Chains A and B, each alone.
Chain A
Amino acid sequence: MNLMKLFARKPKSSGVAKQRLKLVITQDRFDANNRDIKQLHRELAEVLAKYFNFTMSAAQMSLKKEGNSYVLVADFPYENAG
């Protein structure tokens, strides 16, 4: 097993750096754009409220990491009947 480790090539650090930077810069840009995100959140809520009942206070928007990329997630918790 240790022999395997000895011969296995470590991934190049430059590739690791690039991958990490992609993620961290994406998150930074999202955070820096907070005002626009809040506005988008409000506009989405206005449209959705026409069709669904949801708890506005618990609604949120965020970036979630999925593997090597990010997805924009909008959470609008649906209100149960009764």
Chain B
Amino acid sequence: MGKVIVVTSGKGGVGKTTSTANLGTALALIGKTVVVIDADVGLRNLDVVMGLESRIVYTSMDVIENRCELSRALVKDKRVEGLMLLAASQKNNKDDIQPEQMKAICTELRATHDFVLVDSPAGIESGFRNAAAGAEEALVITTPDVSAIRDADRITGLLQHEGVEPINLVLNRLSPEMVRKGNMVSQSDVVGLLNLKLIGVVPEDREVIASTNRGIPLVHNKNSPGAQAYMRIAKRLTGQRIPIPELREKGFFSNILDWFSGNK
């Protein structure tokens, strides 16, 4: 029996979809069977981030309205074995799906897969409620800025109210340099404010833009610091104990090494 995990944040633009795509891919790379569900009905994007937009035939709406079986609506990832996408309908809106219907889909999928990751839309309305309906666990994604942190706390309150447990925190786009200069709240500040268990810190990584442009999740680029961070989070999700050190700036020598290895 697999785990259903909702990936959420409250605020938009903090990296829910990027994190879902990368964690789904990372889990599949370490041998797990995974379905990633796009719950952002009407504004789907998980398909393009994963580079699967041209392969979508059916969506979760077709499953709900009995136009196709769930297994036929799953799109196989083109790069990793064991990874599937269930796309959202672009023609419908968020109120066209009921929480029980999402829950039924999640229940069916977890019986046959190790992980089901549900990419939640931004906001705290019906879209979020549908995304969270079938989830037993949550990943709350935040960036180190005031609006994202505040919204993460709000969404955490709602998840706790729904009985979702555990709720793990992913701190995305942290810049150790800015923390050192006093222009960004630190990892320990965020953890202290939100009072959540931290499952990983993803450093600001410009490679994310390029990987989204290409539709190839970052974790395929094994040298990128962001990819390594997502791989570690995926391993922690499977129960491996990997410590989370406070992120540091790269020193002079590692920068030189990077320069020689072409990994700037």
- Chain A residues packing against B (C-beta within 8 Å): 12-15, 17-18, 20-22, 24-25, 28-29, 32
> A23 CB to closest chain B CB, in angstroms?
11
Consensus secondary structure, chain B interface: helix
Q: Which residues from chain A contact B146 at a C-beta distance below 8 Å?
A: 17, 20-21, 24
> B95 CB to closest chain A CB, in angstroms?
23
Q: A12-B182, A14-B184, A24-B146 are in contact. List 20 more A-B contacts (CB 8 A).
A: A12-B183, A13-B182, A14-B179, A14-B183, A14-B185, A14-B186, A17-B145, A17-B185, A20-B146, A21-B150, A22-B193, A24-B150, A25-B149, A25-B150, A25-B153, A25-B194, A28-B150, A28-B153, A28-B157, A29-B153
Within 8 A of A (CB), among B110-148: 145-146
Consensus secondary structure, chain A interface: helix
Residues 166-208 of chain B: 1 if any A CB is under 8 Å from the residue's CB, otherwise 0?
Answer: 0000000000000101111110010001100000000000000
> A1 CB to closest chain B CB, in angstroms?
25
Q: List 25 A-B contacts (CB under 8 A).
A: A12-B182, A12-B183, A13-B182, A14-B182, A14-B183, A14-B184, A14-B185, A14-B189, A17-B145, A17-B185, A18-B193, A20-B146, A21-B146, A21-B149, A21-B150, A21-B185, A22-B193, A24-B150, A25-B149, A25-B150, A25-B193, A28-B150, A28-B154, A28-B157, A29-B153
